[in-house]
Amino acid sequence: MNDYKDIATPSRTKEILKKYGFSFKKSLGQNFLTEPNILRNIASTAELNETDRIIEIGPGIGALTEHLARSNGEVLAFEIDQRLIEVLDDTMSPYNNVTVVNEDVLKADVKQIAESVFQTEGSIKVVANLPYYITTPIMMHLLMSGLDVESMVVMMQKEVADRITAVPGTKAYGSLSIAVQYYMDADLAFIVPKTAFVPQPNVDSAIIKLQKRTTPLVDVVDEDFFFKLTRSAFTQRRKTLWNNLISYFGKDEATKEWLETSLNECNIDPKRRGETLSIIEFGELSNRLIANKK
């Protein structure tokens, strides 16, 4: 399989785009990588092998897909753009382990499709160059899909990667950091310069590796409530935790007493800002608020 020319060179990409008269749709956030070494590094970071079941989102013309296919694992790629299906039929023709589904991954029943496509038992790994404008919804959709995703190696805007991997007390830390780190251990793998893409985006990208935790980082009684609480704490970052909580839950005396009692029992100063609380502290506060609810 290595006899085939890499798709991700500027000349081959240009040749494929010209052959199919393809024009980029800005609305779909289409930026194609034209640097094979970066794609090799992405595949290497994912530590793929022939027993893996790999999910890709937005394969484009197949630049990353071919590197995933070369691992000999099964590859399932979701491509929203109907125009690219014909291109992928062509570029993926050397590989019999790739299935392309023409669906919007956010509307798809990913678990059901994966179960119908994958023929083997093995780890599920997500490896993808995510469209910038829907990076967060896609990641959360996959995490909540019911699929047993062992790891994700995903490319995204560097700023979003910084937010996902952020620690408490930093500007980048917020509800997104908590939502992802609750389920997965997050590490920044490497930076990808904007010059590696066609068309060139305005910002640099980053590859992050997310490894699923055996159990969530904190034991919470109600996950939905926990996530609502963390989102409420960051509604207005410059406000104190107290002001954000009463804005969200209510300013009547009974609600204030409920919040104050719970914060005191967790030894959390209401004057702190949300960004200073660890995920553990948010978990304890969430459980305490539920226990004290009348």
Between CA 57 and CA 51, with CA 154 as vertex, the angle to 5 degrees is 75
Decide: 94 and 113 in contact? Cβ < 8 Å: no
Q: Annotated binding site for S-adenosyl-L-methionine, which residues?
A: 31, 33, 58, 79, 104, 129
Partnered with residue 234 across adjacent β-strands are none
CA distances from 154 to 30, 64, 281 (A): 15, 11, 28
Binding residues: 31, 33, 58, 79, 104, 129
Q: Point out which residues pair with 101 in neighbouring strands.
A: 78
Which residues, 6 or more positions from 159, have their beta carbon under 8 angstroms from its beta carbon? 172, 203
Structure tokens at 192: 């990808």
What is the DSSP secondary structure assignment for residue 189, as one 8-state letter?
A: E
Q: Quick one: DSSP state of residue 5?
A: P
Q: With residue 135 as reference, give the H or E element that holds it.
A: helix 135-143
Residues 6+ apart with CB under 8 A from 93: none
Strands 197-198 and 98-101, sheet pairing: unpaired
